[in-house]
Structure 1
Amino acid sequence: MRVVLSAYDSRGGVEPLVGLAVRLRELGAEVRVCAPPDEEFEKRLAAVGVAMVPTGQSVRDLVTGRTPPAPGGIARRAADLVAAFHENVTAAAEGADVLVATGLVPAVAGVKSAAETLGVPYVYVSYQPVSLPSPHHPPIPRPGRPLPPEVTDNAVLWERDAEDAQAVFGEAVNGHRASVGLPPVDDVRDHVFTDRPWLASDPVLAPWRQPAGLDVVQTGAWVLPDERPLPADLLAFLDAGEPPVYVGFGSIPMRDPQELARVVTESVRAHGRRVVLSRGWADLALADDRDDCFVIGEVNHQALFRRVAAVVHHGGAGTTTTATWSGAPQVIVPQGADQPYFAARVAELGIGAAHDGPTPTVESLTAALGTALAPEARVRAGAVAGAFHADGAEVAAKLLFETVGRTPSA
């Protein structure tokens, strides 16, 4: 069986495809991944022997502002993404049996069009339940289109979300579809989601609630055990004292990184703890030259999170999933999108704290850390980790074989 996986997303959106790709190969499938041309994605996929087809612009350059605004703004970028993913996925999927897509709507729409062009099955995947229409939660606000505060009916908000998606992406999607001989669609969102989307999240951390209008298939999170050793200097720091607190904000370009580093360092020190500070895409750096802080780049988070007292982060699906699986208490400082949802879930599960708002102060973060560093949070985090469904990628891989009527060869 041949499978093409695609994502236009940050590291947290590409990493689950690594897990799925490895499980598919173990079952005898041939796999290719279409993803942004960022070096870290190419290295990660190369490390597990999976072919990658660079597609679209660099996500890191786009997020950090290195890519200048395009003439025509969002509409132009959307049109470029639709075209790039349709062209590259169509080429990569010659002889493929099924296409799997996640990430930004225009990129996914390009994959959906490729599936129609090739006449092969297509599966849409979300990593969090709140991006899928449901009466149990409101939609995530789209850029420049905040939810009307006077509307509290989730069904009405989801109707508006479909209208917003069509208004923002409809012209780009339908313009491209016309150029490749496909009919227009009047509901881009539901067109790409389909009526049977997959949800690749852990059912304890991020459950799907029924009833809802969609036939959602929750597979569990797509995780892959990371066997990479931690760097020797980081191991030496960890071994030199009590477990430190990890602080990192992943692919989020945080405002005033220097001030943020000061705030998080002082907050952690207020609890008598050391700091492991991840540079991330915000390029965080040490606040001073004291020896109780250590800065890291790309490392094995699974191994590191099992060695720390708590994890302070932005609340993306990837980091929250890894921290939960690792049994580490968390403090989530949500910046937007699905992050407030994961912050709320961490608080509800009793495995940490949800910071109130995106900009921490020493006082607010010190208080949140007090919750996460309490003994009961550590005990609860361990219990939730013990209930984590670590076989989600294997479940999804077997479902893909069933989808196309194939039998795994391994």
Structure 2
Amino acid sequence: MNDSNAPKQGDGFDTLSLSPTLQDHETNGDGRVDIDIDPRASKQLDKILTSQTSHDPANARPLRPLSPTSTPPPNLNILIQVIGSRGDIQPFAALGHELQKHGHRVRLATHDTFRTFVQSAGLEFFPVGGDPSELMAYMVKNPGLIPSMGSIRAGDIQSKRKMVAEMLDGFWRSCIDADPETGAPFVADAIVANPPGFAHVHCAQALGVPLHVMFTMPWTSTRAFPHPLANLKGKDEGPSAGKYLSYGIVEFMTWKGLGDLVNRWREDTLCLEPIATSEGCRLLESLAIPFAYFFSPALVPRPADWGSNVDVCGFVFRDPPKYEPPAALRKFLDAGSRPVYIGFGSIVVDDADRIATIIHEAVSLLGIRAIISSGWTNLASETDAEPNPPNPDIFHIGECPHEWLFQQVAAVVHHGGAGTTACGLGYGKPTIVVPFFGDQPFWGRMIAEAGAGPPPIPYAALTSRKLADGLSYALSPQALAAALEIANTMSVEQGARVAVEAFHKHLPRAGLRCELFPQETAAWSYKGEHRAVRLSKRAVAILTARGVLEEKKLKLHETKPFTIDIQRWDPITAISAASVSTLADMGQATARLVYEPISEARQSSTSRQPSPARGSGASSPAVEKASPSVAVATSARAGKIVTSVAKGVLVSIPLAATEGLRAVPRLYGEDVKRHADVRDFKSGAVVAGQEFRNGMAGAAMDIVTYTYRGKRDEGPMGVAKGLAKGVGNGEVDSERKYRERKEGGGDLAHTAR
């Protein structure tokens, strides 16, 4: 959050996770994390968070459109990175289409499975690997963040980690590789992504380009409701610290499982430093990355403690596709009352027969008609000898656009995916959610709180009686009225258009444009005689071809640089953490010293096998290179150990001690001004000079101020305390002190008088 008084995700979380306040956090069977927080500590934390989350009421207002006179941004190469099911991809396809209307070139990078879908939407496609059906099946079997023993024994964990590593590499290639089909060059000028992709912020840092995270469910810390993947134990009424902290806990557990993969990828592929666990699990909030959410405030009201970098845009829908129903479906719809829709989309379940039997029994209990969608799981009953059963009140259907089908039914029963939820409510249909994992219970709960459906019925607890009771409520006038009220609000929302406005609003306008071609984005900086000149890729190509530019004076222009610093709280924990990190780096380097040469030797051994063309007496040319390659790997890793020791002793630990001492005034309520980013020797020297000047000025001012306060409040003993505090308080925000002195209301002004 970019508001100065907004809470950081680390405020309270870092110390809480090390104390008995957090009594329990484990995974349960519905894909969420069980969190139990001590009630007494929660009340104390509520007071702290309440005092820190008092935003300007303007932040809670809906996003206002850009002024018609606002200068539009230059045409950008926008990369959209998304992982998930088709329901996750669909809103981003609509967003990409809207971005194209503003002159941007849009590439959507996602799973290979969705190539046809993305290209049919008129967008460029880039494959990143990963199989969404495998991911879905894995999440159903292991709905929590901690895998089951069965999955560990089956080797699922290693295969899924391999899949994640493949997607990380694919996402980076999507930033810089040419189009795989046309060969058209592409380098991303900005990145839009959903949070589960993991690669987004790291790719943006490597390129120095803006990042805008967009998602279909809440991912920003708030006291209003818990993280959709968290299940808070105990009372869940009203805003609470537990709900706020649930976001940090979920992020921590996710990073704990994949952080090593991400850091290795950062080092080996992006040439970036690894990130500490304390920062890796809260990067998006600590860097104040802009967020845009694809849900309606009619269903999920915008929390008042979200900062101005968070926008709620409304649900994003695609243009309804043209669809001509088959004659059998049309005949079924015309044969009686409106049926209910039952389907679970791309969810893959092992006990499809049980679910099919429950559905048939519930429909028979109520004597209603139903359309059952097979999706990725065949929900036809074992007794069905034909694609459609003999029961004239039940019709099984394959692929069919929800936009058309939901207009033909009285109510919908589904898994609670954000896209399906939005579509059903958008047409005013009461909804029953049967959640399997993830955020699906969250949407079921939101629907129930709005009165548009019954409380969610977990998939594992589903029975024909519970489903029949839920259908009875969904078909009631009360549920219909609530659903229609939500639909009326959603009908005036334009989610894709508002999301594009949010994207444009948060772009860093300063330094974004080329100075020769203002309609193009600056990609290079050329060091001229008097100042640096921002140039686009085309401008550099033209000027270089004509011999006007010296290539050695060109450097990459970062329109949005990211600096990831470790937040320090005090010198003791800072030095301890830096020491542990140094030891961990040494241990990792030592381990790689062992296994990387072995891996290199195995590869050499494989290449040593004779090929059929050469016969048994011939050997591969790689044989002669085997020993040198192993030696190189060994020496490189040995050097890494030395580098880890030197970096830790000479840089990391002293820097941690300095930052820890600098943070001490924060412990007794003072504001510590954040110093400017250090990116090279020159910027480091400038920052050092500024910090020395501010430190000396602040120290001189504080010695007088705190000594006076101590004498006034505690007498002679207070003089000593105030003097000690003043000497150690030189890094306090001197701008704030200056304002106090100028206004004449501070203790320093009183002392001077």
Structure 1 length-normalised TM: 0.88
Give 3-state SS (helix, strand or coil) of 1:367's partner: helix
Deviations 1:231-265 (A, max 9, x none): 22323322222111100111222341112112112
Partner in structure 1 of residue 479 of structure 2: 377
Question: For residues 147 and 385 of structure 1, do their structure 2 counterparts lie closer, same or farther at Cα, with a shift above 3 Å needed?
Answer: closer
Structure 1 residue 322: Cα displacement: 0.7
Distance in 2 between the 1:251 and 1:402 partners?
Answer: 35
329-338 or 92-101: bigger deviation? 92-101
Aligned positions of 1:317-356 closer than 5 A? 317-356=418-457
State the AA in 2 paired with 1:356. Answer: I
Distance in 1 between the 2:445 and 2:157 partners?
Answer: 38
Structure 1 residue 73: Cα displacement: 5.0
Aligned positions of 1:125-144 closer than 5 A? 125-129=214-218, 131-141=219-229
Partner in structure 1 of residue 99 of structure 2: 24
Structure 1 residue 372: Cα displacement: 0.1
Aligned positions of 1:149-164 closer than 5 A? 153-164=242-253
Partner in structure 2 of residue 241 of structure 1: 336
Q: Give the unaligned 5+ runs of structure 2.
A: 1-74, 139-153, 179-184, 520-753
State the AA in 1 paired with 2:250. Answer: D
Contact 1:90–1:118 under 8 Å retained in 2: no
Structure 1 residue 132: Cα displacement: 2.7
Partner in structure 2 of residue 184 of structure 1: 274
Aligned positions of 1:3-402 closer than 5 A? 3-38=78-113, 41-64=114-137, 69=155, 72=158, 74-91=160-177, 94-104=186-196, 107=197, 109-129=198-218, 131-141=219-229, 153-179=242-268, 180-186=270-276, 187-192=279-284, 194-195=287-288, 196-212=290-306, 215-233=309-327, 234-286=329-381, 288=384, 289=389, 290-358=391-459, 359-388=461-490, 389-402=492-505
Distance in 2 between the 1:297 and 1:90 partners?
Answer: 39
State the AA in 2 paired with 1:98. Answer: A
Contact 1:230–1:299 under 8 Å retained in 2: no
Structure 1 residue 46: Cα displacement: 2.6
Deviations 1:153-201 (A, max 9, x none): 2344334334323311211111111112112223333224652322121
Question: For residues 337 and 265 of structure 1, do their structure 2 counterparts lie closer, same or farther at Cα, with a shift above 3 Å needed?
Answer: same
Q: Give the unaligned 5+ runs of structure 1.
A: none
State the AA in 2 paired with 1:397. Answer: V
Give 3-state SS (helix, strand or coil) of 1:167's partner: helix
Question: For residues 382 and 158 of structure 1, do their structure 2 counterparts lie closer, same or farther at Cα, with a shift above 3 Å needed?
Answer: closer
Question: For residues 214 and 136 of structure 1, do their structure 2 counterparts lie closer, same or farther at Cα, with a shift above 3 Å needed?
Answer: farther
Question: For residues 208 and 57 of structure 1, do their structure 2 counterparts lie closer, same or farther at Cα, with a shift above 3 Å needed?
Answer: same
Contact 1:200–1:220 under 8 Å retained in 2: yes
Question: For residues 149 and 251 of structure 1, do their structure 2 counterparts lie closer, same or farther at Cα, with a shift above 3 Å needed?
Answer: farther
Question: For residues 21 and 343 of structure 1, do their structure 2 counterparts lie closer, same or farther at Cα, with a shift above 3 Å needed?
Answer: same
Structure 1 residue 323: Cα displacement: 0.5
Structure 1 residue 230: Cα displacement: 4.0
Distance in 1 between the 2:106 and 2:348 partners?
Answer: 32
Distance in 1 between the 2:109 and 2:295 partners?
Answer: 21
Contact 1:355–1:365 under 8 Å retained in 2: no
Contact 1:355–1:364 under 8 Å retained in 2: no
State the AA in 2 paired with 1:263. Answer: I
Question: For residues 47 and 386 of structure 1, do their structure 2 counterparts lie closer, same or farther at Cα, with a shift above 3 Å needed?
Answer: same
Whose radius of gyration is greater, 1 or 2? Answer: 2
Deviations 1:14-41 (A, max 9, x none): 0101111121122322211111111xx2
Give 3-state SS (helix, strand or coil) of 1:43's partner: helix
State the AA in 2 paired with 1:227. Answer: P
State the AA in 2 paired with 1:78. Answer: V
State the AA in 2 paired with 1:137. Answer: F
Distance in 2 between the 1:126 and 1:324 partners?
Answer: 18
State the AA in 1 paired with 2:94. Answer: G
Question: For residues 208 and 285 of structure 1, do their structure 2 counterparts lie closer, same or farther at Cα, with a shift above 3 Å needed?
Answer: same
Distance in 1 between the 2:204 and 2:111 partners?
Answer: 19
Looking at both structures, which has the greater relative contact order when contacts are Cα pairs under 8 Å and sequence separation is at least 6? 1
Distance in 2 between the 1:235 and 1:118 partners?
Answer: 53
Question: For residues 203 and 300 of structure 1, do their structure 2 counterparts lie closer, same or farther at Cα, with a shift above 3 Å needed?
Answer: same
Give 3-state SS (helix, strand or coil) of 1:270's partner: helix
Contact 1:310–1:330 under 8 Å retained in 2: yes
Question: For residues 148 and 379 of structure 1, do their structure 2 counterparts lie closer, same or farther at Cα, with a shift above 3 Å needed?
Answer: closer
Deviations 1:355-402 (A, max 9, x none): 332231111110010100012222221221011154010111233334
**Moved segments of 4+, more than 4 Å:** 68-71, 146-152, 405-408
State the AA in 1 paired with 2:254. Answer: A
Distance in 2 between the 1:355 and 1:386 partners?
Answer: 23
Question: For residues 302 and 13 of structure 1, do their structure 2 counterparts lie closer, same or farther at Cα, with a shift above 3 Å needed?
Answer: same
274-283 or 310-319: bigger deviation? 274-283
RMSD across aligned C-alpha pairs, in angstroms?
2.8
Query: What count of residue pairs does the alignment treat as equivalent?
Result: 399
Distance in 1 between the 2:106 and 2:131 partners?
Answer: 22
Structure 1 residue 124: Cα displacement: 1.1
Give 3-state SS (helix, strand or coil) of 1:153's partner: helix
State the AA in 1 paired with 2:206. Answer: T
State the AA in 2 paired with 1:191. Answer: L
Distance in 2 between the 1:225 and 1:256 partners?
Answer: 35
Question: For residues 35 and 267 of structure 1, do their structure 2 counterparts lie closer, same or farther at Cα, with a shift above 3 Å needed?
Answer: same
Deviations 1:301-337 (A, max 9, x none): 0111111011001111111011111111111111221
366-375 or 190-199: bigger deviation? 190-199
Deviations 1:90-130 (A, max 9, x none): 326834331101152xx3x323222222221111112112x
Distance in 2 between the 1:103 and 1:11 partners?
Answer: 16
Question: For residues 214 and 74 of structure 1, do their structure 2 counterparts lie closer, same or farther at Cα, with a shift above 3 Å needed?
Answer: farther
Structure 2 length-normalised TM: 0.50
Structure 1 residue 294: Cα displacement: 1.7
Distance in 2 between the 1:212 and 1:9 partners?
Answer: 26
State the AA in 2 paired with 1:20. Answer: L
Contact 2:202–2:266 under 8 Å retained in 1: yes
